[in-house]
């Protein structure tokens, strides 16, 4: 099984990696961890997740599709997205889970 494929990262698995939705509200970006990075392997679309709700399968974080913005994302929708060549949205298994939201913003120049 490829651990990097989002479809193999069930809500239960993601709930172990990400804090509860809303738990980071009001925190300084320098203190908000970004434990999960998702990406489109063949085009635009990167999601830096900071929070997650397994009941709704909804995450929150910095979403960079054509423009970076903080917002909610349906992981259920990303999980079933079929890209060309049989590819799907992937989780970066080499991502440093200790990276903060401020570091992502600085590194990616948002």
58-92 pLDDT, tens digit each:
999 999 998 999 999 999 999 888 899 989 999 99
Give the CA distances from residue 43 to residues 46, 50, 71, 105, in Å, rounded to whole numbers and listed in that order. 9, 22, 20, 20
Going by C-alpha positions, the residue among 56, 43, 28 that lies closest to residue 88 is 43
**Position 36 in a domain:** yes
Q: Report the SS3 class of residue 17.
A: helix
Q: Is residue 73 part of a domain?
A: no
Counted domains in the chain: 1
Give mean pLDDT, residues 96-103. 95
pTM of the model: 0.90
Structural domain contains residue 110? no
Are the beta carbons of 34 and 102 closer than 8 angstroms? no
* Residue 10, pLDDT score: 77
State mean pLDDT over 91-107. Answer: 93
> Which domain covers residue 61, as residue numbers?
1-24+32-68+78-96
């Amino acid at each position: 099984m490829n651990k990097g494929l989002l479809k193999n990262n069930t809500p239960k698995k993601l709930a172990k990696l990400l804090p509860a939705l809303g738990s980071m509200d009001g925190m300084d970006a320098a203190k908000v961890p970004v434990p999960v990075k998702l990406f489109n392997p063949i085009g635009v679309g990167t999601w830096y997740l900071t929070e997650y709700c397994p009941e709704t399968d909804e995450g929150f974080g910095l979403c960079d599709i054509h423009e970076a913005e903080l917002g909610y994302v349906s992981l259920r929708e990303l999980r079933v997205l079929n890209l060309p060549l049989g590819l799907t949205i992937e989780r970066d298994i080499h991502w440093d889970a200790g990276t903060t939201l401020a570091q992502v913003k600085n590194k990616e120049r948002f």
